[in-house]
Chains A and B, each alone.
Chain A
Amino acid sequence: MKADVGAPVSAPAAKPGVGEFLRLPPFGRQFGGAAEYVVIPALALVASLVLFGIFVALFGKNPLDLYFYMYQGAFGTWFSWQNTLTRAAPLILTALCTALPAQLGMVIIGGEGALLIGALCATSAALALQAAPPLVVDVAMALAGMAGGGLWIMLSGALRQYRGVNETISSLLLVYIALAVLNFLVEGPMRDPTSLNKPSTPEIGAANMIGSIPGMDVHWGLAFGIIAAVLSYILIYHTVFGFAARVAGGNLRAAKVVGLNVGKLILIICFLAGAAAGLAGMMEVAAVQGRTNANLAAGYGFAGILVAFLARQNPLAVIPVAVLLGGIGASGGLLQRRLGLPDASVLVLQGMIFVMVLASDSLYGRLSFFKGKS
């Protein structure tokens, strides 16, 4: 059925007029005025950096020092680059948890919950397969993590589709349920009795740990994140399925009129979104923590929301934005140490960037500089 409907609908996609008609998000036309989509966010970024410089100057610090240390801490040395990429790795995956459902017009903010459930499922798989060879264990962990996280977000999608529950609220509330489930299992049935003052599950075993990408001190989560982002991009922009999703996101009624099975789209996209966050949770266990405990609730899922919105929900743009936010996180330490700024100053900068990028939305198509190019 999908093939019947998908083929004729996808054919006119090449005509720019159809995009207008279906009110596709602006990045749908990015091949027309590509410069606009780089220059405007870059200007927003520069503006927020200038504002942050003024803010820091009010505290009596030299803004030039600030910019220098930010650059130094985030991108200035090979170590800084690895620091930045390590912090970016989980954000790419958790950002996809928000960016994918956004194609359908859904605002999912529960990536943190999917990450925690994914971590729990992955740990359970590893503990159940202690005798198996490491490769089998790691594949099982990844599948279990993705399935767990996927079903968790699919629950939000199903609640919206079949019960009319707002997916933003339900996915957020499911984060707290996931955290409660995690704490219950880690402090109860799954607790390693020797983890006295830090309740944790037993360790998955050193042999089952996933190491670093060769040549750098960054774990494989970065590579999986980039692969997942590229696959998501292809899925959304270069497949019939992705086109159907964007049609449904642009105009739900039009999508139903042309016969798209919107319910199925919602469930599949939500599953994929949750699977990405679940994979992030699996990587945190398999590459970093080696077990599940409360450390996993470090806010990667929430930071992913910020990344997705800054990337304007484009799966490919998620990668550089995650690297940028990873860099801000990495340089935050140096700002604290060299300039004596509190940690909250990094949050101020993140907030400024967020507001500036969102506010810059209104500039698209209005700057005469880009007129005639599109």
Chain B
Amino acid sequence: MTFDKISRRRVLQGTAAVTLGTALPLRAAMAADTTVGFIYVGSRDDYGYNQAHAAGAAALKKMPGIKVVEEEKVPETDAVEKTMESMINLDGATLLFPTSFGYYNPHMLKEAAKFPKLRFEHCGGLWSDKDPKNAGSYFGYIDEAQHVSGIVAGYMSKSGKLGFVAAKPIPQVLRNINAFTLGAKLANPKVTTQVIFTGDWSMPVKEAEATNSLIDQGVDVLTCHVDGPKTVVENAARRGAMVCGYHVNQSVLAPQAYLTGAEWNWEVLYPRFVKMFTSGEAIPNFYRGGLKEELVKVSPYGPMVSEEAKKKADEVKAALTAGSYVIFKGPIADNKGGAAIAAGVSRGQTDPELEKMSYLVEGVIGATS
């Protein structure tokens, strides 16, 4: 059959090239001392989750002896395993950052077991003792920055109605919604946050619909937790509402409507990790931190933000940075009339209970299921 001929010829070409490839190393990348690979699930200029990581990767490019290779829009299937192997085999990468949550189990763990001498660092996963020692997970307590955003939103809202466009009712998202609402209630105890879940991380059409529907219901300050906040920020600004950003600084998209935002600070963390790696120091397998550890930051305040809002927000931000402030401190009621956190219970950031959050606090309009 004709098709057999084609594939046989291709196989022969492949074999020839294997020989060639061994004879003439094609790895320009090997000139650098350390090659670091970054893998993103979406596009790296999404004004969101992936751009935040790409900004961290860009900070590494300035370091001497470090070569960065990047690949975007890699799905959470065996494609990411092959991408990691391709970076290892063809580019000589020795430190890898597969940044999307779904890359962790089974894909990154499988590769970490397969390449025990290389280092794999994952954003968001929960590394446990059973996982390979050359794998690690890191994450930032971005709810601290959301809490500060919430304070600003609470002061700036005239209607007392805030809107939150969220992807899925999972613990990380619920924690942001709750921290934002608790912040807003410091400014205005009667404030409400209406939540709309879009069902997935990147649903621009549903995000736009949710934004419009919230504004139609009287919401005048919006924020979100989706992979690319661009849709929410631009639509909110177009409709005359104010907006708090997420993941990265989106003020360029809506300079007049942008109040502040909760941002990742991977530009600080990644050089820190790479310095540990190149100096032979062990990167902790489980790494977490908030404003104090500079893993997250708050966007500079927009021109509309009042002095009163800035003052309160700065005060809480300073307390969080000093480590003397607890967001989830009882008594906190949930929005079904029960108690979420009992009086006298103080859940600091490292409390594992917070990683399992399944409730919405009083003042949030919406349901987790």
Contacts and interface: CB of A to CB of B under 8 A. Distances in A.
Interface in B183-210: 199-200
B102 A295 contact: yes
A22 interface: no
Nearest to A206: B106
A197 B89 contact: no
Contacts, number: 121
A197 B356 CA distance: 9
A298 B76 contact: yes
B85 interface: yes
B77 A298 contact: yes
Nearest to B93: A337
Interface string B58-98: 00000000000111111111110011011101110000000
A335 to B, nearest CB: 10
A80 B170 CA distance: 37
A284 B7 CA distance: 25
B101 A83 contact: no
Contacts of A337: 69-71, 87, 91
A77 interface: yes
Contact of A334 (B72, B78, B86): B86
Given A79-B85, A83-B82, A330-B86, A317 B3 contact: yes
A268 B93 CA distance: 50
B77 A289 contact: yes
A329 B80 CA distance: 12
Given A76-B21, A77-B17, A289-B106, 19 more contacts: A72-B26, A73-B90, A76-B17, A78-B18, A79-B90, A87-B79, A183-B199, A196-B171, A196-B356, A198-B170, A288-B78, A298-B75, A299-B75, A319-B3, A323-B7, A330-B82, A333-B74, A337-B69, A343-B43
Interface string B295-320: 00000000000000000000000000
A82 B90 CA distance: 13
A343 B72 contact: yes
A316 interface: yes
Contacts of B74: 333
B168 interface: yes
B43 A197 contact: no
A189 to B, nearest CB: 11
Q: Which 5 A-B pairs have the closest CB atoms?
A: A343-B73, A295-B76, A298-B75, A76-B17, A337-B69
A227 interface: no
Nearest to B37: A337
Interface residues of A, number: 49
Contacts of B21: 72, 76-77
B86 A37 contact: no
A345 to B, nearest CB: 11
Interface of A: 34, 37-38, 71-73, 75-83, 86-87, 183, 187-188, 196-199, 219, 284, 288-290, 293-296, 298-299, 316-317, 319-320, 323, 329-330, 333-334, 336-337, 342-344
Interface in B99-125: 101-102, 105-106, 124
Contacts of B335: none
Nearest to A37: B2
Looking at A73, A288, A329, the one whose CB has the most chain B CB atoms below 10 A away is A288
A219 B106 CA distance: 15
Contacts of A298: 75-77, 79
Contacts of B199: 183
Interface string B117-144: 0000000101000000000000000000
Interface string B274-293: 00000000000000000000
A342 B6 CA distance: 30
Nearest to A296: B77
Given A72-B26, A188-B369, A197 B101 contact: yes
Contacts of B75: 295, 298-299
Contacts of A83: 82, 85-86
21 contacts: A38-B2, A72-B21, A75-B10, A75-B13, A76-B18, A77-B89, A78-B18, A79-B85, A79-B86, A79-B89, A187-B369, A196-B126, A196-B170, A219-B78, A288-B106, A298-B79, A320-B6, A333-B82, A333-B86, A334-B86, A343-B71
A78 B14 contact: yes
B172 interface: yes
Nearest to A327: B10
B33 interface: no
A341 to B, nearest CB: 10
Interface in B144-180: 168, 170-172
A10 to B, nearest CB: 22
Given A87-B82, A336-B72, A72 B170 contact: no
A87 to B, nearest CB: 7
Contacts of A323: 7, 10
